[in-house]
Amino acid sequence: MTTRASRVLAAAFLAAGAVSIVPAATATAATSTPCAIDNPQLIKSPDADELIDRTGFSRTQQLATGKDVVVAVIDSGVDVRNDHLREAVLPGKSFAGGKDGRVDTEGHGTAVAGIIAAREVPDSSLVGGAPGSMILPVRVYDTASEQGKARPSAKRTADGIRWATSQRVDVINVSLSAPAGVKNESLLRDAVAGAVAQDIVVVASGGNQPEPDKPLTADRFPAGPPGVIGVAAANDSGVVGAWSVHGPQVDVAAYGSSVLTAYLGAGDCVLDADTNAPQTSWSAAYVAALAAQLRERFPQETAAQIVYRIEATADRPVAGTRDTEQGWGFIEPYSALTMTYDNDRPGPPVPGQVGPTEQTSKVRLTPVVATPDPRGPGRNTLLWWAIGALGLTGSALVLRPWVGQMVDVRNEPYPGRRRRGDRSG
């Protein structure tokens, strides 16, 4: 892929590497101009336009915008003060305090929602990949950096996925990632399996590598289970490097750096510009946007068929082979929306067919070698939870007990939603 480096504006949330007991590091800007919260700015420029155009969504939006598709964002909530998102966000639910999912003190969920569904507004280049879709915010943590807050946990994330499933959404995006063996991993597995069984497209970040000089291949969840699209992060050149965790959970790759999206308050922000650490949170959101477009354009297709379109049309070095770095390759939105089924197409098997397992299946790594704790002994009873790409350039390290509240999945589906199986015509 050609290099499309842009130098517009950079922001830093918090680093998305892992969790530990040390206090959170101060977020630092990737350049000398951080994104403003008190004085939010819209970004409009040829460079900013290019950041949107390079994703391919400007072209595919002539075919589909994700209209009437609901995407659940399992994250830190969404700030609806942002004009790009004011009309794009449903009330949702919070498992981390507050009335519903329409509040975000961290900024991560707002950025993810902006990548997926930001509406076009005057004086801004930003438009989401699926600007006709609706975001259902499911707030499962309050912050990843401060003590005494609701931090990410496997149980709370699983509760959020289960609730989103009960609402009969079309797509679930989880820009969070935990290592194999994390406490309550079984809850994550069960929650994801339940969503897949209900014909929901589930997209999850493949995980960030907190130590770029030490490439890591490992299982990650919830990206790992069958049926989930696990996403790696590519840089501005479309290359996946040591910043993105490698492993069987990786199915495709998308841009994870120089990402123009919505920010806290009313502003825009370019995340992770001028950095060597693209973030899988942002790359997962691009794939969720593509899934939303596909669900609109092909309403009769199953979630498995939507996943197949994304994987089969991805750009890869060898047509019939996947690898642990970028899976089936870098997403190609236009090809996914215009593909015709061909049983002889090299790549993943067509849904319903029995295909090769060595190159196509998500095979769990055995054994999984634990990553040594770089901060020393004394924490062997503590578990690492990596925010799948909090997409920031500082370092956010947090430790917490894995607590979360139970969720009643007997709630009625979100008003106005319909099951895919109920569609006719």
Indicate the pairing of strand 252-255 with strand 228-234: parallel
Could you give the 3-state DSSP secondary structure of residue 254? Answer: strand
Query: How is the chain split among helix, strand and coil, in percent rounded to 5?
Result: 20, 15, 65
Residue whose C-alpha is closest to residue 389's, from 126, 155, 211, 206: 206
- Let me know: does 134 contact 117? Beta carbons within 8 Å: yes
Q: Which residues of 327-363 are buried (b: 16+ CB within 10 A; e: fewer)?
A: bbbbbbbebbbebeeeeebebbbbbeeeeeeeebebe
- Let me know: does 176 contact 424? Beta carbons within 8 Å: no
Residue whose C-alpha is closest to residue 143's, from 230, 271, 16: 16
CA distance 410 to 412: 6
- Among residues 83, 108, 125, 395, which one is catalytic? 108
- Would you call 177 a catalytic residue per the annotation? no
CA distance 221 to 418: 28
Phi, psi for 58 (deg, rounded to 5): -60, -35
CA distance 227 to 424: 24
CA distance 263 to 193: 32
- Among residues 124, 175, 281, 283, which one is catalytic? 281
Phi, psi for 154 (deg, rounded to 5): -65, -40
- Among residues 6, 20, 75, 83, which one is catalytic? 75
Which amino acid, residue 150? Answer: A
List Cβ neighbours of 364 (8 Å cut-off, separation of 6 or more): 180, 219, 224, 248
- Let me know: does 283 contact 254? Beta carbons within 8 Å: yes
- Would you call 281 a catalytic residue per the annotation? yes
Structure token pair of residue 397: 């390290």
CA distance 293 to 289: 6
Could you give the 3-state DSSP secondary structure of residue 407? Answer: coil
- Would you call 159 a catalytic residue per the annotation? no
Cis ω before 225 (30° cut-off from 0): no
Indicate the pairing of strand 171-174 with strand 70-75: parallel
CA distance 307 to 45: 34
CA distance 238 to 240: 7
**Cα dihedral 299→302→305→306 (10° resolution):** 50
Q: Which residues are catalytic?
A: 75, 108, 281
